[in-house]
Amino acid sequence: MSERKFKFTPEQLAFFRENGYIGPLDLYEAEFIKEKYRDIRADIFDRANCAYNLPHNSLLAGYDRHLDIEFFTKHISQPRIVDKVQDILGPDLLCWRSEMFPKYPGDEGTDWHQADTFAHASGAPQIVWPGSSDFGGAITVWTALTDVTEANGCLRFIPGTHEEMFYDETKDMKYSPEMVNNLQKNGIKRGFFGYDYRNLQKDPNFVPDESKAVSIEMKAGQCVIFWSTLMHASYPNSTTDQTRLAVTARYVPTSCQVYPGTDTVEEYGSILSLDKYGVVLVAGEDNFKHNKVITENLRGVPFK
């Protein structure tokens, strides 16, 4: 393996293991990313080469744009990201999903949740770790494309909660679009993109201990790295004039199966066909061959 220039310091890795997250970390210059965002806005609206044929207003329209937008194609293999994720997951890494998460002025916050198999919304596991592994989830790298504050919807974490699931993703949760922007919890407007995540609680009386929560305010161009099994949420966007936008990239080791046994995904009111989908090997080797690996995006741009 070539020398990894951007790996964690021992202190950073220790912090990550204890808390389930680390950041904000500097990834891109703020000026660079703001300009980049202006440049790719037209690409975001151009769905001609997208992996999925979806209307713009579907949440899933933000899925996997690394498969057609060159900036994201390169972003997911950024050494500043991948060198660090290798410290957590080992040398052989897949990026299996990216998502754009906009919060427009007035949008609800994202309610507290954890993701182990990512079955929560579709009812079918999307990532499956090998054998009897009791440690699941994905490493999420959440990158701010705009400045992110408590006012416009920053992330919140409950440190150290990443090794116990408080939610059961095999439970039933119904999609109701009319719930979007219509749920309140402890006086805060927050929901889960048309679901009520509380339906998945193992203990119906469970209340996240928000007194322990931390807010992750970030400058555009910074990222935060966290286990998807960490308790995480975000504030509503209470501004009238600032859109907050983030892009997440999600990583697993090559030993994981992605979307096993299915060629469609139905969640958040949309159906995806996985015809054009493939995982991206961002580091190391794939000795497992569980998944279809693609080496270039849908416009022919190589991933690395």
Q: Is the peptide bond before 24 cis (omega within 30 degrees of 0)?
A: yes
Give the C-alpha separation, 121 to 179, whole Å: 14
Backbone angles phi, psi at 126, to 5 degrees: -100, -25
State yes or no: residue 101 binds ligand AKG (CB under 6 A).
yes
To ligand AKG, the closest distance from the beta carbon of 142 in angstroms equals 5
> Rounded CA gap, 297 and 111, in Å?
33
CB 75 to ligand AKG: min, Å: 15
In the complex, what is the shortest distance from the CB of residue 110 to ligand AKG, in angstroms, rounded to a whole number? 4
Size of the site for ligand AKG (CB under 6 A): 9
Q: In the complex, what is the shortest distance from the CB of residue 138 to ligand AKG, in angstroms, rounded to a whole number?
A: 9
Q: How far is Cα 245 from Cα 110, in angstroms, rounded to an integer?
A: 13
Q: Report the residue number, 121 or 298, with the smaller CB distance to ligand AKG.
A: 121
Neighbours of 179 (CB within 10 A): 16
Report if residue 110 touches ligand AKG, rule: CB under 6 A: yes
122 binds ligand AKG (CB under 6 A): no
DSSP 8-class letter at 45? H
At its nearest, how many Å lie between ligand AKG and the CB of residue 235?
Answer: 9
According to the binding rule CB under 6 A, does residue 86 interact with ligand AKG?
A: no
Verify binding: residue 192, ligand AKG, rule CB under 6 A.
no
Q: Does 140 contact ligand AKG by CB under 6 A?
A: yes
- In the range 221-260, which residues lie near ligand AKG by CB under 6 A? 228, 232, 234, 246, 248
Q: In the bound complex, what is the minimum distance in angstroms from residue 214's beta carbon to ligand AKG?
A: 15
> Measured at the alpha carbon of residue 216, what is the angle toward residues 211 and 217, in degrees to the nearest 5?
125
Q: What share of the chain is helix, strand, coil (3-state, %, to 5)?
A: 20, 30, 55
Cβ atoms within 10 Å of 289's Cβ, excluding its own: 8
Residue ranges in contact with ligand AKG by CB under 6 A: 101, 110, 140, 142, 228, 232, 234, 246, 248
